[in-house]
A and B are shown apart, each in its own frame.
Chain A
């Protein structure tokens, strides 16, 4: 790894997505030269990357990039990487990265190492089989594309002396933009599990949709997102967007609180890379306790109100 291109995505007018800062941090730790690449974003948002040690950002300018198109973005990034002879591309394995990283690897005839949770100067580690095993993977090609599992690489502050913003004009035509995003429907009002730092999840142990107020109250106290097991999503108690697991979302928050969830392998597949796990279950032999850092063997209906009250006291709420 000599020269890494890190793909940057703005979150709002002031900042980039956390996954972009994570990618910068991961790239910086390899010791290679880094250039940020973006297709949109205000100057303030792009400059915020200086906080994490980035010194150079290049913004691609082209009318076909005004409306997001995964194919146009992939083409623009690939053209830029070739123009500066970069040997490494680092992209978050979020919803955007899942579409563009594999495409870019084909364009650059590069090895693609997806969903890495450790990155070194010449290889990476990644979970496979839903986290039941991990593999050490190396690329056999001069150029390599890595995508990084979100929330695993903690973004570390390391302010750079300054940051310059340059521009790049890719050569694009309509054939590069055959798919376009025409609108984005946000889940208003509540935090999504894939973006939350703390998640409080409920399972069948809650006994009915009406009892999820216990989960919502605790989530409210902690500023957390509400998650769910598949059993309760399939039963219609909770929306599919909250499902954590193999057929739901993969999450790795700092704290995952599993309430009345047994810990089936398919559920663990989505949350076992959480930094800390607290499980509450009345069955002391529930498999969830095998992956938990902290566990309370007890009835959710009794434990959750007490837990909420203690947390409120601690947080001064």
Chain B
């Protein structure tokens, strides 16, 4: 089974966000970048399926040179091959999905695995977009997956429960936490990954379909009434919830 795992580099979850001077993106000064946490589940799933069925795992990302770091993590975890589509701009989800789809078409993978969302733009868009561009079925937010021949059976999280779905290979899935327990790369593998080749592909030009006009930091409109724990103070809070917030 040939598996393509699409990963992305994102700011560490504890990053303090500041708006850059262009007014439409974050200031990257001092920001630590990491492998998108959901992509760890995607990589792990790809590796486990390869261990079961044989084949190859290719990790792919779209981004600048700094993204080689996450490709090295993927190689250290066990990916066979790494591809960087060099596009510093990543204008919108569509342009990223389009570029991945063009490369995927040349590889004919049996399965494409992604994280359910990138934790920068939180769009949840990549798996269905990519699948549509490739004319494939897709299942988003998969928390359990079994593959038997060409048949896929998956569970995915929905509001108030789970959906059980059936599909067939080739297919695109996006991984939810709980799908597996991602392995930690071992030190010798991390060292070896440093010298493995990363295939670089120039950016394929696309027109962004959406544009960010401005980025702002949210202004807190919170009431901020903090009090002690005496019985009368608790009574006051209950009253405020009822009369001021009107939520009970």
Contacts and interface: CB of A to CB of B under 8 A. Distances in A.
B-side binding surface: helix, strand, loop or mixed?
mixed
Nearest to B116: A98
A307 to B, nearest CB: 6
Contacts of A113: 210
B165 A131 contact: no
Nearest to B11: A129
B233 interface: yes
Interface residues of B, number: 85
A129 B17 CA distance: 8
Interface string A229-241: 0000000000011
Interface string B215-241: 111101011111111010111011011
Interface string B173-215: 0000110000000000000000000000000000111111111
Contacts of A48: none
Nearest to A295: B226
A14 to B, nearest CB: 17
Contacts of B171: 178-179
B125 A102 contact: yes
B96 to A, nearest CB: 12
B159 A195 contact: yes
A106 B97 CA distance: 10
Interface in B106-146: 119-129, 131-133, 136-141
18 contacts: A102-B125, A102-B126, A103-B132, A129-B121, A140-B207, A140-B209, A140-B210, A179-B137, A182-B166, A186-B161, A192-B160, A198-B248, A269-B13, A275-B245, A276-B245, A296-B229, A306-B231, A314-B242
Interface of B: 11, 13-17, 19, 24, 26, 37-38, 92-94, 97, 119-129, 131-133, 136-141, 155-168, 171, 177-178, 207-218, 220, 222-229, 231, 233-235, 237-238, 240-242, 245, 247-248
The 6 closest A-B pairs by CB, nearest first: A298-B229, A295-B226, A179-B137, A111-B209, A95-B158, A178-B137
